[in-house]
Chains A and B, each alone.
Chain A
Amino acid sequence: DQQVKQNSPSLSVQEGRISILNCDYTNSMFDYFLWYKKYPAEGPTFLISISSIKDKNEDGRFTVFLNKSAKHLSLHIVPSQPGDSAVYFCAGGGANNLFFGTGTRLTVIP
């Protein structure tokens, strides 16, 4: 049973524009949500997290929005850069483990 879902397997965005990656979850007990970026043959790289008690967290070009009532979160990347091209995983969980979505492959076109 997939507790975290990323329904868009891929996304293409022009350089300089906004990238919006979406994620839905089913477990209302998750304490935190995280976004990871993954390049081939490397482990996931932590990008940004948000506590379940917040609705927004911003770090440079990355902003994560959480809508608890809709059990939905999104990652905004502004402006998008070609180096952002990678697979992005959304994850939810608590202190002891994480549940990952299936990933969205972002391609930023120069």
Chain B
Amino acid sequence: AAGVIQSPRHLIKEKRETATLKCYPIPRHDTVYWYQQGPGQDPQFLISFYEKMQSDKGSIPDRFSAQQFSDYHSELNMSSLELGDSALYFCASSLGGVLPHEQYFGPGTRLTVT
């Protein structure tokens, strides 16, 4: 079965640069979530979208923005990168109207800021 796809899998950026992470949800899933997992920490919710509209916002810095496109894929844009942004970024998707709570995660993008 198709899973959540994230690209790139690894990304190395320097401080103050920008990064764009992409997420392709499971086919027919209409809800996308972004999480940040720092070293040795649990995943922290950043932001979610349902039917291309932002549905909830967590601990996402103002330097970050995200959107969901008409094909339901989502992009997380990160600007003015800081060393503390180095983390594993997970995208998850769900079928919002039916089983909104069953989130299926992608493999993650490991971002390293140097």
B102 lies within 8 A of A46 (CB): yes
With A and B bound together, what is the CA distance between A66 and B31 in angstroms? 26
Given A43-B4, A43-B90, A100-B43 contact (CB < 8 Å): yes
Interface residues of A in 31-73 (CB under 8 A from B): 31-32, 34, 36, 41-46, 49
CB distance from B52 to the nearest CB of A (A): 15
Chain A nearest CB, measured from B51 CB (Å): 12
Determine if A25 is an interface residue (Cβ-Cβ < 8 Å). no
Residues of A contacting B8 in the complex (Cβ-Cβ under 8 angstroms): none
How many chain B residues have a CB neighbour from A under 8 Å? 27
Which of chain A's residues has its CB closest to B33's CB? Answer: A97
- When A34-B102, A43-B90, A89-B42 are in contact, do A98 and B96 touch as well, CB less than 8 Å? no
Contacts of A100 in B (CB 8 A): 35, 42-44
In the complex formed, the residue of A with least CB distance to B106 is A43
Q: How far is the CB of A64 from chain B (nearest CB, A)?
A: 13
Using a CB-CB cutoff of 8 Å, which residues 84-100 of chain A contact chain B?
A: 89, 93-100
Please give 6 more A-B residue pairs, beta carbons under 8 A apart, in addition to A46-B103, A93-B101, A98-B45.
A4-B42, A43-B107, A46-B104, A89-B42, A89-B43, A95-B96
Can you list 11 A-B contacts with CB-CB less than 8 angstroms, sorted by A residue number?
A4-B42, A32-B101, A41-B108, A45-B105, A93-B101, A95-B96, A96-B48, A97-B33, A97-B48, A101-B42, A102-B42
B residues lining the A interface (CB < 8 Å): 4, 6, 31, 33, 35, 41-45, 48, 50, 55-56, 58, 90, 92, 96, 100-108
